[in-house]
Amino acid sequence: MSKVAVLGYGTIGSGVVEVLSMNAERIRKNAGQNVRLKYVLDVKDCTGTPAEKYIVHDIEEILKDDEVDIVVETMGGVRFAYPFVKQCLMAGKSVATSNKELVEKHGPELIRIAKEKGVDFLFEASCGGGIPVIRALVTAYTADEIEEISGILNGTTNYILTKMLNEGAAYEEVLAQAQEMGIAEQNPEADVEGFDPCRKIAILASVVYGKNVNFEDIYTEGITKISEKDIAYVKKLGASIKLIASFRHVGDRYYAMVSPFVVGPENPLYSVNDAYNAIFIHGNAVGDTMLYGSGAGMMQTASAVVADVVAIAAGRGETRLIDWSEDKLKVDGIESDRRSFLVRVSDDKVAEAKEIFCASEIVRVDGLEGEAGLVTGVMTEDEFEKRAVQTGIISRLRMR
């Protein structure tokens, strides 16, 4: 029998406790043994909850209990999670975590310690919620050179953008709904400023390319500057708007960015709505593929954490499949990326801007007086910036 300790009884931790109990028989079959909860570590007493009889307040109780062979970390942040997880691994206990900040900052070190100790450090739930993307990358996409991983990796912002586009809802109102649904981070700045999907793409790229991608090296733009007027032009174009995190490997160079993009109906990410995530993976042999599913939420994320617990209890030794060294992977800037842009300019600038941006289309939206939207020709980010300064624009969105 495997005994489990859960660190942190928040949204995901309580989901893990529920899944372990709800699906105990299926988990036993797949793990080849019973998997039982023994401890829940939290500062609160969690009175009246299913965790009540398992509560401990001191990590030492878990560390010194040899019966506990699997630790689930769902505390979030790194202040306590990092030393606790490290101590658990050093004590010969396997760890499954949903904590992307922990994985992005300390993943290579924790993987190395796990390998040295002959235990597991698994982190499926850190990217894409319930979508088994990390397991797919390390076990299935093994025959290809991966040329691109791009996707919608944040449920909160996808939910906000979907509601703003389809229902004309106001930003603050939809953000509050996402918080109530338990999909937004405790501090939603990580969602809306794009840091959360940035961490996730850094983790996915590190797992694929075997070296450490630092999320601070990735150009990141969130959704906070997108206005209802910008969205009106996107709608007029019959397009959608998505916060896309992308990582590309071209020759011996690597390019990454997180930014909102206007996507047309021909793009597979166009129909990924609400809190759903999708990860587009292009391999040089397999071509285009896409993984789709619930990217956030209590039970969805708990499902991925418990799947890691099952893998550990079954003795599959999956950590040895993860090749993520502490060496840094150099990521190039975005200056030479080429694309079209959707720009808004005031009426007096339309003729000049049309010429300067080699615009292919002028868009007018009923009710928006004194301005117009232009779809520019394809140009580098650098060229666009120079021309935008020369003309003077109201706003711009990248197009895919």
* Piece of 30-38, 87-95, 131-139, 177-185 that binds ligand HSE (CB under 6 A): 177-185
- Cβ proximity to ligand HSE, 2 vs 74, nearer residue: 74
Residues 6+ apart with CB under 8 A from 387: 356, 357, 379
Contact 312, 96 (CB under 8 A): yes
Residues of span 276-295 touching ligand HSE by CB under 6 A: 295
Contact 201, 245 (CB under 8 A): yes
* Piece of 52-60, 64-72, 168-176, 178-186 that binds ligand HSE (CB under 6 A): 178-186
* Piece of 101-109, 152-160, 349-357, 389-397 that binds ligand HSE (CB under 6 A): 152-160
* Piece of 141-149, 151-159, 316-324, 348-356 that binds ligand HSE (CB under 6 A): 151-159
How many CB atoms are located within 10 Å of the residue 129 CB?
Answer: 30
Tell me the H-state helices in 283-328. Answer: 298-313
- Rounded least distance, CB 217 to ligand HSE, Å: 21
155 near ligand HSE, rule: CB under 6 A = yes
Closest listed residue to residue 106, CA positions, set 20, 203, 191: 203
Phi, psi of 325 (to 5 degrees): -85, 170
- Cβ proximity to ligand HSE, 108 vs 129, nearer residue: 129
Please pick, from the candidates 11, 156, 259, 294, the single residue that binds ligand HSE as defined by CB under 6 A.
Answer: 156
376/355 Cα distance (integer angstroms): 9
72/280 Cα distance (integer angstroms): 28
Contact 143, 287 (CB under 8 A): no
- Cβ proximity to ligand HSE, 130 vs 283, nearer residue: 130
How many CB atoms are located within 10 Å of the residue 367 CB?
Answer: 6
Does 200 qualify as catalytic in the annotation? yes
Residues 6+ apart with CB under 8 A from 116: none
Give the binding-site size for ligand HSE (rule: CB under 6 A). Answer: 11
DSSP classification of residue 213 = P
Tokens of 142: 């093994």
Residues of span 112-141 touching ligand HSE by CB under 6 A: 129
Tokens of 140: 């299935």
Contact 318, 120 (CB under 8 A): yes
Binding mask 17-46 for ligand HSE (x = CB under 6 A): ------------------------------
Q: Which residue is nearest to ligand HSE (CB)?
A: 156
Tokens of 106: 């300390």
Selected catalytic residue, list 38, 105, 163, 200: 200
DSSP classification of residue 36 = E
Binding mask 294-313 for ligand HSE (x = CB under 6 A): -xx-----------------
Sign of CA dihedral 166, 167, 169, 175: negative
Residues of span 185-244 touching ligand HSE by CB under 6 A: 185, 191, 196
69 near ligand HSE, rule: CB under 6 A = no
* Piece of 40-48, 87-95, 149-157, 354-362 that binds ligand HSE (CB under 6 A): 149-157
The secondary structure of 120-136, three-state, reads: CEECHHHCCCCCCHHHH
Please pick, from the candidates 122, 183, 258, 299, the single residue that binds ligand HSE as defined by CB under 6 A.
Answer: 183
What element of type H or E holds 247? Answer: strand 240-250
- Cβ proximity to ligand HSE, 12 vs 342, nearer residue: 12
- Cβ proximity to ligand HSE, 186 vs 346, nearer residue: 186
Say how many residues make up the chain. Answer: 400
- Cβ proximity to ligand HSE, 184 vs 299, nearer residue: 184
Please pick, from the candidates 74, 97, 154, 259, the single residue that binds ligand HSE as defined by CB under 6 A.
Answer: 154
- Cβ proximity to ligand HSE, 76 vs 283, nearer residue: 76
| Residues noted as catalytic | 200
Residue ranges binding ligand HSE (CB under 6 A): 129, 154-156, 183-185, 191, 196, 295-296
